[in-house]
Amino acid sequence: MNDDDLKLRIVGIENDGDIGGARRLRLRTTRGAIALIVHPAGETERVALCVSGALGGFDGPAELYPRLGATLPQSGIAVVRLDYRIPNEFGECVLDTLAGLSFLGAMKCRRAALVGHSFGGAVAINAGTLSPLVSTVVAISSQLFGAHVVEALAPRPLLLVHGTADSILSHASSEQIYQRAHEPRTLKLFPGADHRFTDNGDGLLAAVGEWIEERLG
């Protein structure tokens, strides 16, 4: 990327209405609009920002992101679900994630957990090294491409979660990321779980939710 490729500026915010107690927002940027779903938690300075895989979307594996949005605000942690402008374009998706973090910083958030699935796991790791707002990163079923900067994530705690029956991205991917990462780092393997944790949604929610609550205090 050259310098122009790395530039993205937020020029406005639009309210797209409410959905199930959450708020739909659209960040207008110099490179197009970024859609958000915000699950508020009052006047909190803590937030979890969730990004999905290569196809984009708001839900994550086994509906993890809306389920976090239903539970974490009860602990005083807001949840924001971000959909990419251009799914599967790694650099653009990192820029979208950084724009989301910049927006949260402007909203007085001071500590963020960054959660990503598959392609988004590497996006979260990459963006996590670039934003001072990020306190911890959770990468679920992560790909290797784009996660090569994981060494720079420390001292932010990293949680890697992967299913041993993942036929799309082998759990060896998370194991390799774990080996490259510095402490503090944790690798949690789910025996028999597939790429999207189809039959392991409750366990995934518990593991990720508890991690975020503990790391964001």
Cα torsion 130, 112, 120, 14: sign = negative
Mean pLDDT of the chain: 96
Of the candidates 5, 15, 9, the residue with the CA atom closest to the CA atom of residue 32: 9
Structure confidence at residue 2 (pLDDT): 44
Average pLDDT over residues 77-103: 98
Structure confidence at residue 4 (pLDDT): 55
SS3 track for 176-190: HHHHHCCCCEEEEEE
Spatial distance between the Cα atoms of 139 and 153, rounded to a whole number of angstroms = 12
Helices (H), 107-149: 119-128
Residue ranges of domains in the chain: 35-215
Please say whether the beta carbons of 1 and 87 come within 8 A. Answer: no
Q: What percentage of the chain reaches a pLDDT higher than 70?
A: 97
Q: Is the N-terminal amide bond of 40 cis, ω within 30° of 0?
A: no
* The CATH classification of domain 35-215, taken from the options 3.40.50.1820, 2.40.50.140, 1.10.10.10, 3.20.10.10: 3.40.50.1820
